[in-house]
């Protein structure tokens, strides 16, 4: 049976579509008038609108998740922002004369979340037009990805601040009408809560060091909490200063407030003190308050607090001056954002927590069963490692304080990782150890000086000093002190892991000489990039968003993947959050980044599958040569505006360390949803797509020249590399189609047919994946198999269920790459249905027919010896396999009303937990909790332990349950 085609499910045309966009043009003119744009910008805006209008009208029904009218307003706002940011105004278009994004959104009556949720789609559709008008680097100059990261970061910080405020203070109803009217506030908890947030924003604006990372911002908020604890009237407290479970650091002089807060929130006490000094200075300068030594004051709030080194302001938050102080802070912030801001950051405190999430900002899928987790594919250990905040049952508005903040939030994850860097990595030396230098000396010529020079050049490119950063866009500024600290952390981590890897590789080779590895330029750059990315991920910075670290080092994501598993295995102290981050990067690599233009994967693929070379060359997919260290160093000293994010357009053709003249640099076209990666609380037990430890091939093999014969097996190193890569992809495919088919309630046979089809596509129709996302092939394969199997399943049903997947992104089904349509050459993007009809079906129709009623998928044993075909299957490539046996897809939510998850428990962990000293805290089905007790009573005991507030783990049926 022929798979056929699927009809487009279009929406009714809007009024703008019916009149050719004339009414839209009038509304755009009105919007320009409302913003009082000058004549030059209005003219440029109308020109850009006319150029983009055909694209908008053609895609109005397929772009955006709102009504056509809302999509239109977002598009018009996007056009205006492009013009005001990229165009030339009569007033220079800078500073107070330039219209800012928050003003555009206000005039267009748009929510910040809605705008950023759809911005990536508009950028994709309008990209070619903007490139022609404003140069190819328009998206870097627009800084939308950085602004989106700022919005996500601020909303995470706002949630953290709200929870922390409720830890210490009661909710009161004295919100000032005047100050609320000034900021548009509707959701501040109280005047004191509002004061704290405005003081935090003042710190962000006026501090000498840019607040570009989550750790620095969290330190600022904790310092604000300290000021509130010292100054908010005592009657609004929900805590007792004598509570030893909260204020754990005490001396003969009383509670050490900053040390206690540092303990609760995992901050550095030194950093907290410095930030507090800055905050006190702002209060003195902006609010004109006279500081006093707290040790000389007799205020009621200071009772039982060690006041040494603390500052107190007499009338800072008393009722008669609070309203005045709020108005002063509001005016100060208004002046600041009118001068140099794009976003009104006060809105973060006004948004409803339920409506603003990282996923909503990124346009991701629905949040199923609690927080979305990209590592739900791996079986996790327990999530919570410390007590969390517990809402008081007696008073829902008050939160009792425990000794640690809520686990699993972006802020708690960042602070946990920062503590690891501070306590484990920072004390290490900033140079190779004697043992590592010994490995260097055993190479063909001591490579120590080369390793040190390379590390300094690469890390300076990733963490530039202020003199270099000043030539970057405003959101990319790096404070010199901050950059030096991060560079030092990355350098120490690099040396530490490099030494561990050298020891492990040496044991595998029964010797100490590792010349091929330690002399390989690409290997070292990958290690440095991985170290720097972990430091950046720890601090959750908006300055350098992945894959920016790859661009600065001149490598590709495919290169980085070669060291990810080794990095995880050889740094045993790596926090689970950073392991998750590395796993998520590998997942992004497998699903799309390795298939993008400029990926080094194609340099190996063209050797492993020579018959694909014509298509690879036609699409110009090969990676460009890797830039030399001299080129990177020179760029740092001579960079001009606009060069750094696209630094290596002209590359030296000199070979790299392994003699391969095609060393790559990935062309960055995707900002991705890396920011959501910090939001997943589930832990990682092992590397997601890694091979068993006993089967790990040496790193030397991974970084060998692809064309060289592999002495360990038939073919070249490229053959081995591509086969390993494809096996990982099939593992990811199996996981994703299993979860999606379960949502669609498909049979096991259907699942196996889909898996068989994708195996065939990967081996026989590899070109379908070029420049595309693996999920696009999955969606089309599921629909195609359903069609030929005569199963009633629509594309709409498939996409609606796909939206609920953790990794889903709207661009997967809205924008699929095509390089020719209807016989006409030219690149572009179409929706998933058009791609299915025009590209997928013509290419895989013979394979789809074989999955029909007679089911070739049921005859796998006869098809395991597939020969080469027109698409160039590798000789001796892996046989087609039945659907693999996957680990339990955990964690699973087992309670509709409580955040209780279950995941398989390893026997070794169970044995440790059930030691005589701890056995009484756990219950296992199959082992009675008391002698001669019935199973029903056993279950009751287990439930009681689940409900016990002090319990974090309970074992049920050999599963680990955590809240």
288-311 tens-digit pLDDT:
999 999 999 888 889 999 999 999
pLDDT score, position 458:
95
**Planar angle of CA 410, 424, 700, nearest 5 degrees:** 95
Higher pLDDT, 481 or 610: 610
pLDDT score, position 649:
35
How far apart are alpha carbons 195 and 325 in whole angstroms?
Answer: 8
- Interval 90-118: pLDDT, tens: 554 444 467 889 999 999 998 888 888 88
User: Residue 815: is its pLDDT beyond 70?
Assistant: yes
What is the band of 739 on the pLDDT scale with cuts at 50, 70, 90?
A: very high
User: Residue 532: is its pLDDT beyond 80?
Assistant: yes
Residue ranges of the chain that CATH labels 1.10.472.10: 410-467+477-635, 746-861
pLDDT score, position 827:
77
Which helix (DSSP H) or strand (DSSP E) does residue 255 occupy? strand 254-255
How far apart are alpha carbons 229 and 90 in whole angstroms?
Answer: 50
Which stretch of 1-10, 261-270, 593-602 has the lowest confidence by average pLDDT? 1-10
Task: Specify burial of residue 240 (Cβ count, 10 A radius: 0-12, 13-18, 19+).
Answer: exposed
Which helix (DSSP H) or strand (DSSP E) does residue 293 occupy? strand 292-293
pLDDT score, position 945:
55
What is the band of 17 on the pLDDT scale with cuts at 50, 70, 90?
A: low
What is 21-142's CATH number, 1.10.472, 3.10.590, 1.10.150, 2.40.160?
1.10.472
pLDDT score, position 230:
94
What is the band of 87 on the pLDDT scale with cuts at 50, 70, 90?
A: confident
Q: Are 182 and 330 in contact (CB under 8 A)?
A: yes
Please compute the mean of the pLDDT values over residues 192-197 and round it to a whole number: 94
Q: What are phi and psi of 250, to 5 degrees?
A: -135, 160
- Interval 147-170: pLDDT, tens: 888 889 998 999 999 999 998 998
Q: Determine the 3-state secondary structure of 631 from DSSP.
A: helix
Q: What is the DSSP letter of 861?
A: G
pLDDT score, position 898:
54
Pairing type for strands 959-962 and 901-904 reads antiparallel
How far apart are alpha carbons 129 and 830 in whole angstroms?
Answer: 16
What is the band of 69 on the pLDDT scale with cuts at 50, 70, 90?
A: confident
For residues 113, 134, 552 and 424, what is the CA-based torsion angle, rounded to 10 degrees? -20
User: Residue 524: is its pLDDT beyond 70?
Assistant: yes
pLDDT score, position 443:
83
Look up residue 511 and give its two tokens.
């010797």
Higher pLDDT, 220 or 914: 220
How many C-beta neighbours within 10 Å does residue 66 have?
Answer: 14
pLDDT score, position 799:
94
pLDDT score, position 331:
94
CA atoms within 13 A on the CB side of 51: 18
Q: Where are the alpha helices (DSSP H) in 510-639?
A: 515-518, 521-539, 548-553, 557-570, 576-591, 601-608, 613-618, 629-638
Higher pLDDT, 807 or 858: 807
User: Residue 182: is its pLDDT beyond 70?
Assistant: no
**Percent of the chain whose pLDDT exceeds 70:** 67
pLDDT score, position 618:
92
Higher pLDDT, 772 or 346: 772
pLDDT score, position 894:
53
How far apart are alpha carbons 275 and 278 in whole angstroms?
Answer: 5
Which helix (DSSP H) or strand (DSSP E) does residue 762 occupy? helix 748-764
Higher pLDDT, 641 or 517: 517
What is the band of 930 on the pLDDT scale with cuts at 50, 70, 90?
A: low
User: Residue 697: is its pLDDT beyond 90?
Assistant: no
Q: Are 756 and 728 in contact (CB under 8 A)?
A: no
pLDDT score, position 782:
96
Residues of the chain by 3-state class (helix, strand, coil), percent to 5 = 55, 5, 40
Which stretch of 440-444, 543-547, 943-947 has the lowest confidence by average pLDDT? 943-947
Q: Are 495 and 524 in contact (CB under 8 A)?
A: no
pLDDT score, position 953:
40
What is the band of 54 on the pLDDT scale with cuts at 50, 70, 90?
A: confident
Q: Are 494 and 486 in contact (CB under 8 A)?
A: no
pLDDT score, position 345:
86
pLDDT score, position 394:
31
Please compute the mean of the pLDDT values over residues 185-189 and round it to a whole number: 59
How far apart are alpha carbons 741 and 779 in whole angstroms?
Answer: 10
Q: Which of 217, 207, 336, 211 is nearest to 278 (CA)?
A: 207
What is the band of 513 on the pLDDT scale with cuts at 50, 70, 90?
A: low
Higher pLDDT, 651 or 502: 502
User: Residue 700: is its pLDDT beyond 90?
Assistant: no
> What architecture (CATH level 2) is domain 746-861?
Orthogonal Bundle (1.10)
Which stretch of 460-469, 499-508, 599-608 has the lowest confidence by average pLDDT? 460-469
Q: How far is the CA of 42 from the CAs of 25, 52, 86, 88, 508, in angstroms?
A: 12, 15, 13, 11, 67
Q: Which of 294, 274, 131, 301 is nearest to 216 (CA)?
A: 274
pLDDT score, position 58:
75
Q: Are 601 and 558 in contact (CB under 8 A)?
A: yes
pLDDT score, position 99:
87
Please compute the mean of the pLDDT values over residues 80-86 and round it to a whole number: 90
Beta strands in 694-768 (DSSP E): none
User: Residue 911: is its pLDDT beyond 60?
Assistant: no
Please compute the mean of the pLDDT values over residues 437-446 and round it to a whole number: 86
Q: Are 254 and 451 in contact (CB under 8 A)?
A: no
Q: What is the DSSP letter of 425?
A: I
pLDDT score, position 7:
58
pLDDT score, position 829:
83
pLDDT score, position 142:
87
Please compute the mean of the pLDDT values over residues 398-415 and round it to a whole number: 64
Look up residue 502 and give its two tokens.
């050298």
User: Residue 683: is its pLDDT beyond 50?
Assistant: no
Q: What are phi and psi of 99, to 5 degrees?
A: -70, 135
CATH fold label, 410-467+477-635: Cyclin A; domain 1 (1.10.472)
Integer distance in angstroms from the first to the last C-alpha of the chain? 50
pLDDT score, position 171:
82
Which stretch of 89-98, 140-149, 626-635, 881-890 has the lowest confidence by average pLDDT? 89-98
Q: Is 287 left (phi over 0), alpha (psi -120 to 50) or beta?
A: alpha
Q: Determine the 3-state secondary structure of 959 from DSSP.
A: strand
pLDDT score, position 896:
47
**Planar angle of CA 655, 636, 210, nearest 5 degrees:** 135
User: Residue 467: is its pLDDT beyond 80?
Assistant: no
User: Residue 693: is its pLDDT beyond 90?
Assistant: no
CA atoms within 13 A on the CB side of 608: 26
Q: Buried (b) or exposed (e) across 547-576, using 16+ Cβ within 10 A?
A: bbbbbbbbbbbbbbbbbbbbbbbbbeebbb
Look up residue 942 and give its two tokens.
């287990």
Report DSSP letters for 41-103, one per residue: HHHHHHHHHHHHHHHHHHHTTTS-SS-HHHHHHHHHHHHHHHHHHHS--TT-S-GGGSPPHHH
User: Residue 777: is its pLDDT beyond 90?
Assistant: yes
pLDDT score, position 379:
29
Q: Where are the alpha helices (DSSP H) in 343-421?
A: 358-362, 410-420
User: Residue 899: is its pLDDT beyond 80?
Assistant: no
Please compute the mean of the pLDDT values over residues 489-506 and round it to a whole number: 94
Please compute the mean of the pLDDT values over residues 183-200 and round it to a whole number: 78
Please compute the mean of the pLDDT values over residues 629-654 and round it to a whole number: 51
Please compute the mean of the pLDDT values over residues 948-956 and round it to a whole number: 40
User: Residue 863: is its pLDDT beyond 80?
Assistant: no
Compute CA 102 distance to the chain's CA centroid, rounded to the nearest angstrom.
Answer: 24
Q: Are 804 and 365 in contact (CB under 8 A)?
A: yes
Compute CA 667 distance to the chain's CA centroid, rounded to the nearest angstrom.
Answer: 19
pLDDT score, position 244:
72
pLDDT score, position 823:
61
Task: Specify burial of residue 374 (Cβ count, 10 A radius: 0-12, 13-18, 19+).
Answer: buried
Cα-only R_g, the chain? 29
Q: Are 493 and 420 in contact (CB under 8 A)?
A: no
Which stretch of 180-189, 477-486, 625-634, 809-818 has the lowest confidence by average pLDDT? 180-189
User: Residue 279: is its pLDDT beyond 90?
Assistant: yes
Look up residue 930 and give its two tokens.
């008391």
The mean pLDDT of the chain is 76
What is the band of 515 on the pLDDT scale with cuts at 50, 70, 90?
A: confident
Peptide bond into 824 cis (omega under 30): no
How far apart are alpha carbons 172 and 347 in whole angstroms?
Answer: 20
Query: 3-state SS of 660-712?
Result: CCCCCCCCCCCCCCHHHHHHCCCCCCCCCCCCCHHHCCCHHHHCCCCCCECCC
**Planar angle of CA 682, 683, 689, nearest 5 degrees:** 105
Residue labelled with tokens 């250990």: 381
Look up residue 683 and give its two tokens.
């832990």
Q: What are phi and psi of 291, to 5 degrees?
A: -75, 150
């Amino acid at each position: 049976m022929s798979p056929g085609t699927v009809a487009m499910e279009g929406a009714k045309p809007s009024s703008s579509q019916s009149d050719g966009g004339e009414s839209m043009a009038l509304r755009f003119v009105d919007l320009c008038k409302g913003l009082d744009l000058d004549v030059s910008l209005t003219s440029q805006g109308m020109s850009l609108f006319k150029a983009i209008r055909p694209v908008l009208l053609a895609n109005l029904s397929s772009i955006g998740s709102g009504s056509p009218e809302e999509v239109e307003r977002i598009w018009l706002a996007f056009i205006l922002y492009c013009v005001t940011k990229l165009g030339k105004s009569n007033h220079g278009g800078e500073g107070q004369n330039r219209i800012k994004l928050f003003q555009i959104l206000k005039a267009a009556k748009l929510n910040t979340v809605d705008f950023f949720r759809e911005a990536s789609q508009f950028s994709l559709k309008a990209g070619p037009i903007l490139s022609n008008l404003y140069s190819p680097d328009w998206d870097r100059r627009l800084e939308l990805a950085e602004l989106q990261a700022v919005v996500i970061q601020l909303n995470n910080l706002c949630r953290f601040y709200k929870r922390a405020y409720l830890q210490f203070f009661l909710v009161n109803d004295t919100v000032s009408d005047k100050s609320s009217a000034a900021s548009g506030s509707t959701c501040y908890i109280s005047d004191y809560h509002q004061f704290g947030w405005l003081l935090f924003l003042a710190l962000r604006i006026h501090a000498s060091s840019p607040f570009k990372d989550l750790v620095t911002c969290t330190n600022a908020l904790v310092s604000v909490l300290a000021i509130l604890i010292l100054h908010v009237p005592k009657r609004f407290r929900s805590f007792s200063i004598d509570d030893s479970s909260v204020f754990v650091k005490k001396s003969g002089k009383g509670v050490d407030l900053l040390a206690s807060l540092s303990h609760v929130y995992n901050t550095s006490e030194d950093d907290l003190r410095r930030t507090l000094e800055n905050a006190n200075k702002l209060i003195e300068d902006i609010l004109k308050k006279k500081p006093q030594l707290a040790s000389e004051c007799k205020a009621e709030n200071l009772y039982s607090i060690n006041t040494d080194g603390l500052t107190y302001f007499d009338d800072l938050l008393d009722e008669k001056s609070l309203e005045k102080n709020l108005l002063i802070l509001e005016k100060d912030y208004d002046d600041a954002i009118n001068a140099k801001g794009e976003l009104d950051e006060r809105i973060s405190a006004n948004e409803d927590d339920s409506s603003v999430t990282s996923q909503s900002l990124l346009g991701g899928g629905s949040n199923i069963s609690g927080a979305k987790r990209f590592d739900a594919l791996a079986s996790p250990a327990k999530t919570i490692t410390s007590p969390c905040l517990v809402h008081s049952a007696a008073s829902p508005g008050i939160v009792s304080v425990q000794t640690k903040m809520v686990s699993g939030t972006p802020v708690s994850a960042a602070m946990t990782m920062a503590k690891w860097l501070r306590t484990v990595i920072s004390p290490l030396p900033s140079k190779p150890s004697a043992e590592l230098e010994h490995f260097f000396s055993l190479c063909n010529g001591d490579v120590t000086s080369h390793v040190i020079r390379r590390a300094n050049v690469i890390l300076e490119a990733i963490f530039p000093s202020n003199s270099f950063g000043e030539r970057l866009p405003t959101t990319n500024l790096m404070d010199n002190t901050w950059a030096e600290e991060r560079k030092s952390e990355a350098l120490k981590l690099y040396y530490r892991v490099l030494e561990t890897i050298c020891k492990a590789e040496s044991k595998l080779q029964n010797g100490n000489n590792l010349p091929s590895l330690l002399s390989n330029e690409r290997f070292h750059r990958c290690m440095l990039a991985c170290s720097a990315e972990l430091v950046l991920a720890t601090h959750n910075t908006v300055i350098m968003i992945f894959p920016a670290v790859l661009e600065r080092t001149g490598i590709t994501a495919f290169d980085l993947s070669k060291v990810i598993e080794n990095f995880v295995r050889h740094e045993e102290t790596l926090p689970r959050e950073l392991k998750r981050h590395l796993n998520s990067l590998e997942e992004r690599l497998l699903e799309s980044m390795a298939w993008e233009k400029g990926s080094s994967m194609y340099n190996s693929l063209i050797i492993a599958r020579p018959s694909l070379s014509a298509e690879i060359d036609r699409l110009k997919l090969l990676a460009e040569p890797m830039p030399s260290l001299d080129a990177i160093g020179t760029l740092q000293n001579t960079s001009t505006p606009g060069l750094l994010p696209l630094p290596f357009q002209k590359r030296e053709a000199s070979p790299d360390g392994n003699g391969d003249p095609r060393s790559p640099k990935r062309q960055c076209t995707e900002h991705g949803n890396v920011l959501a990666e910090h939001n997943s609380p589930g832990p990682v037990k092992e590397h997601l797509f890694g091979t068993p430890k006993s089967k790990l091939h040496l790193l030397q093999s991974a970084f060998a020249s692809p064309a060289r014969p592999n002495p360990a097996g038939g073919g070249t190193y490229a053959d081995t590399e591509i086969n390993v890569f494809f096996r990982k992809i099939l593992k990811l495919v199996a996981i994703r189609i299993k979860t999606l088919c379960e949502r669609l309630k498909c049979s096991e046979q259907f699942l196996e047919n889909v898996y068989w089809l994708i195996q065939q596509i990967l081996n026989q129709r590899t070109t379908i994946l070029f420049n595309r996302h693996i999920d696009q092939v999955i969606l089309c394969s599921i629909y195609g198999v359903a069609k030929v199997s005569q199963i009633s399943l629509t594309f709409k049903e498939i996409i609606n269920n796909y939206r609920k997947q953790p990794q889903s992104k709207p661009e997967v089904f809205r924008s699929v790459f095509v390089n020719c349509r209807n016989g006409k050459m030219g690149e572009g993007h179409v929706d998933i249905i058009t791609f299915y009809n025009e590209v997928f079906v013509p290419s895989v129709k013979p394979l789809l027919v074989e999955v029909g009623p007679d089911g070739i998928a049921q005859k796998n044993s006869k098809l395991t010896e597939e020969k080469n075909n027109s698409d160039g299957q590798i000789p001796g490539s892996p046989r087609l396999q039945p659907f693999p046996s996957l680990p339990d897809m955990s964690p699973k939510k087992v309670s509709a009303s409580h955040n209780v998850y279950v995941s398989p428990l390893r026997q070794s962990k169970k044995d440790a937990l059930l030691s005589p000293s701890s056995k009484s805290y756990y219950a296992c089905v199959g082992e009675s909790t008391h002698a001669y007790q019935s199973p029903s009573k056993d279950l009751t005991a287990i439930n009681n332990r689940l409900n016990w507030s002090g319990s974090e783990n309970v074992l049920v049926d050999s599963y680990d349950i955590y809240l």
